[in-house]
Structure formats: structure tokens, C-alpha cells
Structure 1
Amino acid sequence: MYLDQGRLILLVCASLLACSSRFAQATEADPAQVISTPHAIQTLDGSYLPVQTLEKTVTDLMTRSCVTGLGIAIFNENKIVYLNSFGWRQKEQRLPLNVDSVMYGASFTKAVFATMVAQLVQEGILDLDKPVEQYLPKPLPEYDKYRDLANDPRYQRITLRMLLNHTAGFANFRRLNPDKKLMLHFMPGSRYAYSGDGINLAQFIVEQVTKKSVGDLMQERIFNPLHMLNTSMTWQEHFNENLAFGHDDKEKILGHNRRSSVNAAGSMDTTISDFAQFIQSLMQGKILNQQGKDILLKPGITINSVTQFPTLSSATTQDNQAIQLSYGLGWGLFQTPYGKAYFKEGHDDGWENHALVYDDKQIGIVLMSNSANGDSIFKELLEALIKDTYTPWKWEGYIPGACAVGEGVK
């Protein structure tokens, strides 16, 4: 009797040790295991979406639209409750995407940069409404990159707030202008026009004031405190160990640009796991307290353009008046019956990203895709996974679509 009990105890202990070992191996192989995933995700309308249904929806949409790879993070009660990846990081090599695969953040960079700027504003280091020229020891056009503005005195009106809420008057990039020169297309502060050149001028001002590289500032203030170990403003050699490649609309590999210079408009590499940590910290008021979030997410300009791109189109619409579409510092904003929401996209050849947070409901989602087709399923994913029906998907250019017959994720 006692011998049998002893054997039973030994068997139970051995079983527990084996289970513990398997769990440790699974955690090491897939950091998503660290998160205690619920059986269902709470959505905006108060209903619950079973995880099994969520994952079938994702894989069905990816197959329909030839989306090569997709990372997803979902937040309930201001914390990550679901973190997963689907598809391939390098399809031709049959290398699966995982939550620590390094992906291109694209214009997610702008949102993180703006968050860091809000910290500096809160600390009194920067003033959003002070003309940027007043931060400099000499007139802005005396710096090489800004000589083109010498004959347009309107540049003297530009503030950091205008640069960060895309109202400074620049094209997205000067290379898109007919003569490839930097120019103001309208009076600064008068309308919205998304501009990477505007963000890059904000970077120049921040670096002049702080005497530090924005790369170093982001590392010190955002990436290191949040343990974003696979995130950087420039290429790191260890990224090669788990690297995602961008893919075109036919799922052919485009590669991954190894950026050597810091660009606040879009040089950040990151992972779905790391970026989810950033969003969670922002939702919880850790990387910015409530005062800082109020600075970051204060509506600065109402948006009435028909679409976000092309940025300088003068066509207007009232379609987004009901949601009060606007822009804060580096983040788009809108209002819904569920309260306020903030969002940011990231686009480049072979990369499509979207982050959305419903602040009052404490619900959010991040989508990161290494596929040119990624944004063709974003509208449906937002609706299906968190019941978001207010995102201005037409303005975003998120047009649902299927790939040609015979193609798809395999």
C-alpha cells in the first residue's frame, strides 16, 4: 500500500516535471505562450469572440487575399490578451512568421517618435507652439536641407505641433514635387496633408535642442524601458536571426531594407511582440502619464479630405464628420459611441501595418503584415476581431479584395 502510494507520488512528480519541461520549451520557442490567452476575446459591443473563431477568420481572409504573413496583438482592459502570428516570414524558404520575427515598422515610427516628443514637451524641453526657427541659432533656410524655403517667409510660421499633426504645408516627400525641391503648398496650419518631410524636420529640431540623436533618444526613452529588444531605428545584425521579408501582391519576395540612418518618418524595425508592449504601455499610462497622453492625443486639425493619399489632393468630403476625424501628435483620432479612438498606419512596398486603440473601452488591436496585400483584409479584421465599424477605411484606402484564382497562402 505504502509502496504503491510512493510510486504514485513519483509518477505524478515525473509527469509534472515533464509538463514543466515541455512548457519551458514551448515558451522559449514561442514567446506568445507567456501570455495567458483567454478562450475568447472581448469586443467593443461587449460580446466575446472565441479564439478558435478568430483564428479561422484570420486564416480564411489571408488565403482569400494572398496575405503572406500577419502578426496580431489584441488588448482587453489595457493589456495584451492575444498575441499570435500567421503565415510566412520568408515564403520561398518556407520560414514561418512568429511573434519575434523582425518586421518593418514603416510609419509606426512616426507614432513612437511623437510619443517621445510628448515626453519632452511634458518635461518643458520643447514647446509645441513655438515657431521651430526660434529653436535654431540661424534661420532655417541656412541649413542645407532647407535652403529651398529661402524665398517663402511662410516657413517662419511652422511649429512642432504643425509638423506632428501634418499641417505644416509640405508634400509627403520633396521627391514627389515636380522639381524635387522642398516647398510649402499651403499656409502652415491651415489644412491636413500627411508629410514625412514634416516629421523629418521635427526630428532635426529635436536633435538640435537635445544635442542627441533621435535614435539614441528613442532607445533611452522608449525601447530600453519597455524591453523592446528587437526594435531599433537602424539595422542591427542580430535581426538576421529571425528576419521577415516583405512580399509583393503576387507573394514574391521583396526583401528587407537594412536602414543605416535614423529617420523619424520611418526607419524603425520592430516585432509584433515588441510593438504590442509599446501599445500596452501607452494604454496603461506608463510610457506617458495622463497629462502626457492628453498632449499626444489632443485634436489639432479636423480632417475633411476624401482620402489620406495622395496627400495634397484638394477634394473634400463630409463622410467622416460624424466620427470627427482629426489628428493629434503623430496619431489619427476619431470619436464613436464607444468613446475616443486613436490609430496609426504604416505602409511601404511589401509592408502594411495598422494600430487602433479605443481608449475609453480599453480595447485595442495591432496588425502587422509583410505583404502588399495586407491592408486588403484590415477592414474585415477590425470588424470581425474587435467589432470596430468606425475606422474610416475608405479614407485609409483599405479596400477589401481577393487575389487571383489559384493563388493564396499555402
Structure 2
Amino acid sequence: MRYLIIIIICLISSCSEKSEIAQIKRIDGSTIAEAELDTNIKTLVDTANVTGLTVTIFNQDTVAYQKAFGFSNLNKKDSLNLKQVFYGASLSKAVFGYLVAQLADEGIIDLDKPLQEYFSTAIPELQFEKEWRGFKNLSDDERYKKITARMCLSHTTGFPNWRWISRTGEFTPEGDILFYFDPGTDYSYSGEGMMLLQYAIKNLTGKGLEELAKERVFDPLKMDMTSYLWQERFEDNYCNGHTTEQKVIDKDKADEPAAAGSMSTTPVDYSRFLEKILALCSLNSPVTKLMFSPNIRIKSKKQFGPLSIEKSNANDSIDLSYGLGWGILKSPYGYGYFKEGHGEGFQHYSILFPEKNIGILLMSNSDNAESVFKEILEIGIKDIYTSWYWEDYIPYNEK
């Protein structure tokens, strides 16, 4: 009888511990049961026609919740799983920001030194295998001499996002790179700026992006299924992107590393990266201090499109800003550090609240995913501070 009582006590204790583990902590101090979160997410995925979505929530610098919903390929009815390779899109920039912050902390690069000083040739005269990547048409505009690493990572170079797309989102077939404003004076999201910094770092260190990333990020964090280049080992383990009509998109394989957006990764791998960032914040690391120091206040109505050139005070309450490859916002629960990813068929978002040791990662292979981000952020971690309108995360039931 005595042993039976001991067994019962142990079972009760075990059930109690499982119950506690199943409660996900949120930034306002509340919790949500794992089963309730499952139900809410599945309902949103089904209602908004999100083909596939993975949700990861971090509590105390570690994964507290991580699940996949929907399909990796709708035509085949293959279930999505957490170890499948996604096109990471601009999540690439967050990793690059971390890498450059390490180099800056070690004194290898000066964030405020003009990049021109890291080249022996004038930037407009640099030679590229793909000629269209060059900067020849800036030869008569010496503002290129002012551009620094900090400006590239904070999106203040004055360049468009991509040379074949205007600042307002119109296609420009001539593909000439140009300045929309003086470097360092305003915010305008720019992959072109990231690429210029990538070239400068390669020239400075003698190492390419993939080599540096493997050495400093992917290998130390055991991100074995992550790369800025497509790898053969990804072939049998990737998910397809899907359009808003849920049509399958063929895989586009990166043939050259691009800090601005060529990275492939898995939810499991990228979670390891975010865990590392949260842990460094807990240690008051000089690297995360560099990354998360605001460099520019953002006053645009939206991040992209015609409204990106219109000014607004709508985000003053959250001090919307940009650091080194990451966006920054203020909440009653401390600062939030965020990074999006958006490419054809893939939509992602991550935000960390280090003062609460809480964060969330959303990774999707659907062009409908951003329509549920606002609600999942609120349900999952009580994040009502992400500027969903500025991000253009318009809810599916408001379109």
C-alpha cells in the first residue's frame, strides 16, 4: 500500500509538471495552454488558406513551443514538418547583421568608416562576374563615398531595395542603381545596400559570405541545414512555396550567396540562431548591444510601396527604429527586436523581447501567411506592438 501511494504521488507530480510545461508564457505575464494555441493556429491556417505554417515560441532563451501546420506541397498533400528547408528570404539579413556585429566588436570593421576605404578601386569601377550587379552609373554621384556599414545594415544608404524596382515598388527595366536621398538621412529598406557591404567585407577579410557564416554562425550553432547557397543535401527535404491561390511554386535555388536574401534554413535551425541571440542578450553581450542600438527613427507610413515615402507619426508610441539588420520597437515589456522575410511563396516574421526572455518565429510557405501574423502574434505571446499596418500584414478578414 505504501508503494502504491508513492507511485500515485509520482504520477500526480509528473502530470503537474507536464501541465506547467504545456503553459506558454507571454510577454504580459499571462499564459496560454499548448492545446488552446494549437486549436487557434489551426483555425487561422484553415480559414485564411495558409498552405503551411510553423510557429516557434521561446521562453527563457529556449524553445517552449514548436509545431508545423498544413502542407509542404499541396499537390502531393505532404505534411509540413519542422526540419524541412524553407527559402529564408530576408531572414538572411538578420544573420548577416549578427555576423557584421561580431566583426565590428573584434575591431575587424569600423561601422562608421566609409566603405570606399575598404576598396582600392572606386566603387563605381568595381568589376563583377554578373555585370548588372555593378555600380557604374554612380560614377558621377560621389555620395557613394559617404556610405558606411552602419548605413547598409540600417537601410539608410539611399538606395532602392533592388535596382530594378523603384522606391515605390514600380518595375524599372533599365535596372540602374541610384540614390533617392543623401546617405544616412532617411530610412528606405535596401537589399542593394546589404550587397555592397557584403562585397566590402569579402574584400576586407578575404573570405566570402558563406565561408564566414559557416565559421561564425552555422557551424557553431549546429545549423546543419542552413546555407546562403543551395546544397545537395537540401534536395529531398525542402518545402515548396505557394501562391495566394495555393498553387505550387517551383524551387528557386540560389547559385550565389547573397546577404540580402539567399539563405535557406529550417525552423529548427533558425530557432537555434534566435536562441543564441536571446542568450547573448541575457549576458549583455557587446555584440547584441551593437546590433540593437537604434540608428535611425522610422517615420514612413509603410515600409514598402507608395506610402513608404509618406511620413507619419503613427509609430511614435513604439519608437520604431532600425539597428544592424534588425528592426526595433518599444513596448511596456521592454524593447522588441524583429526581422521579417518575404519572397515569392514564403513569408516569415520573428520578434524577440529579451527583457522577458520571450520571442516568436513564424515561418510559412504561403503567400497568405502574413494575413494571420497579427492574430498569431497576439495569441501566441501577446505581442500587440508589432506595427502590422507598417509591415502590410493586413488581416485576412480586413482585406
In the superposition, the TM-score normalised over structure 2's length comes to: 0.90
Where 1:398 maps in the other structure, the secondary structure is coil
Does residue 1:130 correspond to 2:113, yes or no? yes
Amino acid across the alignment from 1:108 = L
**Which residue of 2 is the match for residue 169 of structure 1?**
158
Q: Say if 1:137 and 1:311 are closer, same or farther in 2 by CA, change over 3 A.
A: farther
Q: Say if 1:88 and 1:319 are closer, same or farther in 2 by CA, change over 3 A.
A: same
Identity rate of aligned residues, in percent?
A: 41
Contact 1:171/1:311, CA 8 A, preserved across alignment: no
Return the alpha-carbon distance in structure 2 between the equivalents of residues 270 and 360 of structure 1: 27
Question: Which stretch shifts more, 137-146 or 36-45?
Answer: 36-45
Which of 96, 99, 104 is matched with 1:116 structurally? 99
**Which residue of 1 is the match for residue 395 of structure 2?**
400
Give the superposition deviation at 1:78. 1.5
Contact 2:163/2:192, CA 8 A, preserved across alignment: yes
Q: What does the per-residue CA deviation read over 1:213-257, in whole Å, with 9 as the maximum and x for residues that have no partner? A: 101100111000000111111111111222100000111101221
Give the superposition deviation at 1:84. 1.2
Question: Which stretch shifts more, 282-291 or 178-187?
Answer: 282-291
Give the superposition deviation at 1:310. 2.1
Larger radius of gyration: 1
Contact 2:281/2:354, CA 8 A, preserved across alignment: no
Contact 2:340/2:348, CA 8 A, preserved across alignment: yes
Contact 2:282/2:354, CA 8 A, preserved across alignment: no
Amino acid across the alignment from 2:354 = D
Does residue 1:227 correspond to 2:222, yes or no? yes
**Which residue of 2 is the match for residue 244 of structure 1?**
239
Amino acid across the alignment from 1:401 = Y
Contact 1:64/1:403, CA 8 A, preserved across alignment: no
Return the alpha-carbon distance in structure 2 between the equivalents of residues 367 and 209 of structure 1: 35
Which of 214, 225, 237 is matched with 2:209 structurally? 214
Return the alpha-carbon distance in structure 2 between the equivalents of residues 313 and 352 of structure 1: 20
Which of 363, 385, 394 is matched with 2:380 structurally? 385
Contact 1:37/1:82, CA 8 A, preserved across alignment: no
Return the alpha-carbon distance in structure 2 between the equivalents of residues 55 and 160 of structure 1: 42
Where 1:117 maps in the other structure, the secondary structure is helix
Contact 1:74/1:365, CA 8 A, preserved across alignment: yes
Contact 2:226/2:263, CA 8 A, preserved across alignment: yes
Return the alpha-carbon distance in structure 1 between the equivalents of residues 344 and 283 of structure 2: 32
Give the superposition deviation at 1:286. 8.5
Contact 1:70/1:367, CA 8 A, preserved across alignment: yes
Contact 2:300/2:307, CA 8 A, preserved across alignment: no
**Which residue of 2 is the match for residue 8 of structure 1?**
none
**Which residue of 1 is the match for residue 130 of structure 2?**
none
Q: What does the per-residue CA deviation read over 1:86-114, in whole Å, with 9 as the maximum and x for residues that have no partner? A: 11111111111111011010000001011
Return the alpha-carbon distance in structure 1 between the equivalents of residues 198 and 281 of structure 2: 23
Return the alpha-carbon distance in structure 1 between the equivalents of residues 199 and 19 of structure 2: 42
**Which residue of 1 is the match for residue 21 of structure 2?**
38
Return the alpha-carbon distance in structure 2 between the equivalents of residues 109 and 225 of structure 1: 17
Q: What does the per-residue CA deviation read over 1:350-393, in whole Å, with 9 as the maximum and x for residues that have no partner? A: 10000000111110000000000010000000001101111100
Return the alpha-carbon distance in structure 2 between the equivalents of residues 403 and 227 of structure 1: 41
Give the superposition deviation at 1:349. 1.1
Does residue 1:338 correspond to 2:350, yes or no? no
**Which residue of 2 is the match for residue 100 of structure 1?**
83
Contact 1:259/1:267, CA 8 A, preserved across alignment: yes
**Which residue of 1 is the match for residue 255 of structure 2?**
260
Q: How does 1:303-382 map to 2 (within 5 A)?
A: 303-310=298-305, 313-382=308-377
Instruction: Provide the aligned length of Structure 1 versus Structure 2.
Output: 370
Amino acid across the alignment from 1:61 = L
| Cα RMSD after superposing both structures | 1.9
Does residue 1:153 correspond to 2:142, yes or no? yes
Contact 2:226/2:269, CA 8 A, preserved across alignment: yes
Return the alpha-carbon distance in structure 2 between the equivalents of residues 242 and 335 of structure 1: 38
Give the superposition deviation at 1:187. 0.4
Contact 1:101/1:242, CA 8 A, preserved across alignment: yes
